[in-house]
Structure formats: structure tokens, C-alpha cells
Amino acid sequence: MGEERPSPSELFEFADDILTRLPREIRNIVYTHIFDDATLNQVAACSQPSLNKFPYNNLSSTRVQRPAFIEPGRVPREIAVEIIQQFYLSYKSMEVFKPKSIGNYLKTDFFGLGIKPINVPLSAFTISADLDASAVDGIDSWTVANDCKPVLEKANQNWKAFRLNITLTSRIGFFFWRTPDHVERLTKKLLAVLSALKLVVRAAEKKGAKVTIKVESYDGWDMQARVNMDKDKEWWRRRVNRLMVGSQINDAGIEVTMLRREAADADADD
């Protein structure tokens, strides 16, 4: 026999009992037990627009049934609101794919309950941006520090429990536009962006947040860009070249994979 589900009236009465009989501090503890990974992803898939790759990804939601516990009428509205607040505190995959859209992202009511990320604590936030000069709405080194201000100015934020992730991407790879000119242009752009991001990193870390910066090429990635922000152009030119031939550098700074090591070694000797 399958598990018997509560009737709509039983569910509402149960949620109402939680609301009226338990203080908010205890209710928050109850809500934390709702969100395993599967439930977090289920709720995220109900956002309108999508919480991921904002503002480009608007395909979530319509094919996913909203859980009853975030549907006012099926549970008291206050319960649904509090659960969404806990969701934002638990969900670690919020991503804006265009720095200029950060302000709009944080002011969006993704679930139609009047709760916006700008007004509630978050545990993590990812800013992704395209380094390629040909990319539409690529990252602008002149404005990126100002674009990030809405994150740094968030109220009601527990900064010591917050992680800001920045991912800088390029489609260039070993079999895709890898020429000395492309290496040079990408290195120059990356250095300009990292220089601008120093203001963001310092402000976030001063508040107590943890910051990671990841650089991705078509074939490789480097999780150590935050640590190496102050390296000079020649150092970064060599690092960019290695990324393009499949170098994958983990959080500990260890190169775990190299798809085309002989190409990287040859270029390093030039």
C-alpha cells in the first residue's frame, strides 16, 4: 500500500497548528528539515522567472507542480512566506548571468509571495559573466564593481555565513579560436576585470563573506583566481594558455587534468 497523504483540509489544519502553536524560532527549525537537495531543486524549478542563469533562462516552472507548502490556500499564507524565506537561506545555486542584472534579480518576487532576495538572508549567490569581446552583454570592467553593489548593500544578511561566487567564462579552447591573439586579448580582458573586482572582493570579505572566483575556458577551469588576483600579465597569460588546453585547477590549487599538456608546455617555452 502507498503512503496515505493528508487531505487538503488536514494539511491546512496541520500547517495552521504549526503557525499558532509554535514560536517563529521553532518553526524555522521545522522548515530546515523540509529542504533536502531534491526539495530545494523542486522549489527552485517553480520560480518565475528562473532563479538560475537570470535573465536568460525563463523555462522553469510551468511544467513543475508547486509543492503544497508554498501555496497559500493549501497552507496559511504566512507559512508559505516563511518557508520561502527558509528556502532562500538554504538554496546555494542562485545565479545571475549578467552583472548588470544583479539589481533586478535581487528585486524580483520569484514566487509571487512578496518575498524578494534583496530583503532576506541568502547563503550563497553566483555572478557569472562572459569575458569574450564578441559576447552580447559580456562583462564590462568599467562598470562591474558598481553592478555588484546591490549584493554588497543587502540588509538583513548574515555575512559570515554567506559565499559570493564569481565565474568568468570564455568559449575559447584548444580547438576553438586558440591563437596567440586570442590568448593576448583574453588575458588583457581578464586582468581588467580582476582589477575591477578587487573592490568587490575586499568589500565582501571585510563584511565577513567568503569569495571565490572561477575562470573557465571551453576546455578548462581554474578555481584559484581569487588567490592569484594580483599576479602580473605574463603570469596570467601563461595561465590562460593552460586553461585553453584543458588545465583544471581545483580549490587547493592542484592541477588535476591537462588535456593537451604538450601544447601548454610548448607555449610555455616560447
pLDDT in tens, 143-172: 999 999 999 999 889 999 999 999 999 887
Alpha-carbon gap, residue 183 to 214, rounded angstroms? 17
Residue 190 has pLDDT above 70, yes or no: yes
Separation CA 174–CA 246 (nearest Å): 8
pLDDT, one tens digit per residue, over 111-135 is 999 999 999 999 999 999 999 866 5
- The answer to whether 200 touches 127, Cβ cutoff 8 Å, is no
How large a percentage of the chain has pLDDT more than 90?
62
**What average pLDDT does range 214-234 have in this prediction?**
91
Give residue limits of the domains in the chain.
1-91, 121-270
Question: Residue 187: how many CB atoms within 10 A of its CB?
Answer: 20
- Residue 108's pLDDT is what? 94
pTM: 0.87
pLDDT (0 to 100) of residue 258? 57
Q: Grade residue 267 by pLDDT with cuts at 50, 70 and 90.
A: low
**What 3-state class would DSSP assign to 164?**
strand
Distance CA 119, CA 264 (A): 47
Phi and psi at 246, nearest 5°, equal 100, 10
Confidence of residue 179 (pLDDT cuts 50, 70, 90): confident
**Eight-class DSSP state of 52:** S
Is pLDDT above 80 for 265?
no
Higher-confidence residue of 44 and 268: namely: 44
**In terms of DSSP H, where are the helices of the chain?**
8-21, 24-32, 37-44, 77-90, 102-106, 144-147, 149-152, 180-207, 233-244, 261-268
pLDDT of residue 8: 81
Rounded distance between C-alpha atoms, residue 221 and residue 236, angstroms: 13
At 22-80, the pLDDT tens digits run 999 999 999 999 999 999 999 999 898 888 878 776 555 456 688 999 999 999 999 99
- pLDDT at position 262 is 47
Mean pLDDT across 93-106: 93
| Beta-carbon contacts of residue 209 (< 8 Å; ≥ 6 apart) | 159, 160, 162, 163, 164
Average pLDDT over residues 79-100: 94
What are the angstrom distances between the C-alpha of 72 and each of 37, 75, 151, 213? 23, 5, 29, 39
